[in-house]
Amino acid sequence: MIDYLIVGQGLAGTLLGYQLIRRNRSILIIDEYDENSSSNVAAGLFNPITGKRFVKTWLADVIFPYLHEFYPELEEFLDEKFFFKKEIYRPFKNIEEQNDWTSKSGDTAYTNFIKNIYQTSQFEDVHDPYGGVEIGNGGVIHLSKLISAGRKKFFDDKILINEKFDDQNLRILDSSIRYKNIQARRIVFCMGHQNARKGFFSWLPFRPVKGEILYLKPFHPFDKIFNKGCFVTPPVDGTCRCGSTYDWRDSSCSPTEKARKEIMEKFEKLFKIDAEILDQKAGIRPATLDRRPFIGIHPEYESVGIFNGLGTKGVSLAPYFSDQFVGYLENSSNLDEEVDIKRYYSLYYNSVRHR
C-alpha cells in the first residue's frame, strides 16, 4: 500500500507530490498530459501587488518569503531552471496615483515590496509620463518547464502513470482507497478545472475562467516585467509573454481573435513600439467563487482529499499551501479556515439531501 495517490500533475499535483516526498511519504501520480492545462499555458507571474486597485495581495507577507525559498529548492530537486526573480514596473496612471504611492512608500506594510518610486518617465519606449513604481519580490516561473521537469523526474522514479483517471474504478474502503490494482491510504484530487465538472468535489463552487496569452518575439532589451492593463515579461525562454484575458462564458481551450485584439490593444497602451506575435495559447484557470483555494478532506470520506482552486495566483499560493496541507494531512498542523473546504460542507449535505 502507498501513502498517497495524486490525480493530476499540474502545478498543484507537482508541488503536493514534492512536499510529500520531502516528508518521506510514498506517492503515485495519475495524470493525462494536457498541453492546454492551466499550468502549461500560464504566464507564471508572481506579483505581491495586484488587481485593479493595485494593493498587496492576500497573505503576501507570508507566501512571498516562502515561495522565494521554495522554488530554488524545487529547481534543485527537479534539476531544471524555471524560477526568475524580476522587478515589476508599473507606470502611474495619473498624478493622484503617483501621490498615493509616494505616501505608501513610507508605509511599513509596503516597504518589503516597493523598490523605487519614479516621478518622471523612465523608459523612452513605454507610456509612463507620470513615472511609476518598481515592485520587488516578484518574478516569473517558467511553468511549462517546471511541469515537464516534474513529469520527467516522476516518470524516472516510476511514480507517474500517464492515463485518464476514471471515478468508476475507485473504491472507498474503511481507511484507504483502491483504484484498479493500486491501494493507497489517501487519494488527493488535483485536476484543475476538471474537478468542477464531475466527481467527488463537483459540489464546490468553482468559477472556472478562461485565459489567453500571447507569446511575443523579444522586442526590447528590458529585464523587468511591465504591468499596466496587461503584463509583459522579459524573454525568459526566448519569448515575451503578454496577457491575459478573463472569460467566464467560453469553456473551450481555443485561442480567439477577440482575445488577441484585446491583449494587443492593451500592449499598445503600455509600449510605444510594435511587437511580433509568435504564438497564442488559451487555458482554463481553476478559479473559485470566493477567490480562495479549495483544500481539504471530503465531508464523508476521510481518505479523499482535494488541493485545487488556485485560480489566477497558483504560482504564489501553491508553495505555501501545499506545505500547510501536507502538515494537515499528516496531523502536524492546521489548515487555514479561508482555504479549508469545510467552509462549503453545507453545500455538500444539501446536494446529498436533494439526490
Tell me how far CA of residue 131 lies from CA of 93, 122, 268, 270, 339, in angstroms.
9, 6, 17, 12, 37
128, 212, 262, 323: which one binds ligand FAD (CB under 6 A): 212
Among 276, 280, 285, 293, smallest CA distance to 336 is for 293
Among 63-71, 81-89, 219-227, 310-318, the segment contacting ligand FAD (CB under 6 A):
310-318
* Near ligand FAD in 180-209, by CB under 6 A: 190-192, 194
Whether the Cβ atoms of residue 221 and residue 240 lie closer than 8 Å to each other: no
* Near ligand FAD in 64-93, by CB under 6 A: none
Among 201, 174, 207, smallest CA distance to 188 is for 201
* Near ligand FAD in 242-271, by CB under 6 A: 243-244
- The CB density around residue 63, as the number of other CB atoms within 10 Å, is 21
5, 18, 19, 37: which one binds ligand FAD (CB under 6 A): 37
Cell of 33: 498530459
Among 64, 6, 1, 10, smallest CA distance to 42 is for 10
326 binds ligand FAD (CB under 6 A): no
Nearer to ligand FAD, 91 or 283 (CB): 283
To the nearest 10°, report the CA torsion of 73, 78, 81, 86.
-40
Mask: binding to ligand FAD, 156-185, rule CB under 6 A, as x and -? --------xx--------------------
29 binds ligand FAD (CB under 6 A): no
The residues pairing with 295 across neighbouring beta strands, listed in sequence order, are: 307, 340
11 binds ligand FAD (CB under 6 A): yes
Which residues would be at the binding site for ligand FAD (CB under 6 A)?
Answer: 7-13, 30-32, 34, 37-39, 41-45, 164-165, 190-192, 194, 211-213, 243-244, 283, 285-286, 308, 310-316
